[in-house]
Amino acid sequence: MKAAIVFDSRTHTTEKAAAFIAEGLKSIGEIEVRCFNIDDADFAYIQQSQLVVFGSPTYMASVTAKMKSWLESNAGKLKLAGKLGGAYATEQYIHGGAENAIQEMLVFMMVMGMMTYSGGSACGRPVIHLGPVGMSQDIESFKELFMTYGQRMGEQLLKLL
C-alpha cells in the first residue's frame, strides 16, 4: 500500500509535521509513505497511492494561496476519486484559523470523490476532530499528535483494503 503526504511549507514547519505523520504511518508496517512539497510532487506516486494527506500552513485563516491554486490546477491530474484522504495544518498562533484551512482541504477532497477521515472522538484521546494542528513556533511539541494521526490514518486504510 502507498500513502502520499502533499504539503506547502514556507518555513519547513509544515514539512516537519508531514514527517511526523509519515512516521506514524510507517509504524503500521504495511504502508510505503512518501512526502512531497507541492513544488516537487510526484504525480505518478500520488495517483498510485490509496491514501493522500494534504497539509498547509495557515495564512489569513485559510490555506496558502499557493496550496489553493495548486489543488485547483492539479485536481484532474491527481486521480483522487475513491482514495482515503485527510488534512492537517500549522499556524503561527493559537486560534489562527487552522481549522478553516483543514476544512478547505477536506472540502476539496470530497468534491474530488475522496473518502475523508480523521478518527474524530471515536479513537479517544487525543481527539482529532478534523485533522491535527501544530503551532509553528514549537512544532516538536506536537510530534506525538501528528504521529498518532498518522497511525490512525494507516489503521483506517488497512480496514478499507
Q: What is the model's pTM?
A: 0.96
Domain 2-160 falls in which CATH fold? Answer: Rossmann fold (3.40.50)
- pLDDT tens for each residue of 86-141: 999 999 888 889 999 999 999 999 999 999 998 888 899 999 999 999 998 899 99
Q: Phi, psi at residue 77, to the nearest 5°?
A: -75, -20
Three cell numbers written together for 118:
480523521
- pLDDT tens for each residue of 49-94: 999 999 999 999 999 999 999 999 998 999 999 999 999 999 988 8
Three cell numbers written together for 119:
478518527
